[in-house]
Amino acid sequence: MTATPPAVPQDHTALLASDDPQLAANKRLVYDMYRIVLQGGYADRAGEFIADDYIQHNPNAGQGLAGVQEYIRNTRPERALEDKLELPLINLLAEGDFVTTAFVRTEADANGATYYSTWFDLYRIEDGKIAEHWDPMLKSDTPIDPNSQRLEE
């Protein structure tokens, strides 16, 4: 076990790029949703990115756009919008209608020592909006504000 966080790219431009314009658009959609809704806490803007009939596989969040908005309002405050994700993004991958994000996740072991893991989200895009989401959250997990996962420089 190491207390050294994984290296994360500071320039997200390369992560957002793709030779396929549709894959680049899907990456941008997920990136901006994460930046504005999940990082910024702007639940009222979720409909710009997320379909009304959104399917949620996180057992701690409700279904549909309304479920996402309620989850955001209950887990984080609104913050000033940043031009880029401040969370430690390791990679952003797109294939077909799917986009996967990978972030550094800082945790503490039973002795209180810091260690690093990875958090993955998978999104399915349909008709230009996020239609479905998966992550590793368990019912027994406490809902988190991902902004608590920012790495100290």
Domain that holds residue 81: 13-137
pTM for the model stands at: 0.87
Banded pLDDT at 153 (limits 50, 70, 90):
very low
Here the CATH number for the domain that contains residue 19 is 3.10.450.50
| Per-residue pLDDT tens digits for 20-65 | 999 999 999 999 999 999 999 999 999 999 999 999 998 888 899 9
Any domain includes 110: yes
For the chain, how many structural domains are there in total? Answer: 1
**Whose structure tokens read 């027994």?**
140
Take residue 73 and report the two structure tokens written for it.
């309002």
Banded pLDDT at 130 (limits 50, 70, 90):
very high
Residue 126 pairs with which residues in a beta bridge?
A: 129
Any domain includes 151: no
Mean pLDDT of the region 2-29: 91
pLDDT at 5: 76
Q: How many residues does the chain have?
A: 153
* DSSP element (H, E) containing 133: strand 129-134
Nearest to 37 by CA among 145, 116, 110, 138: 145
Mean pLDDT of the region 126-152: 73
Burial class (CB in 10 A: 0-12, 13-18, 19+), 127: exposed
* DSSP element (H, E) containing 55: strand 50-56
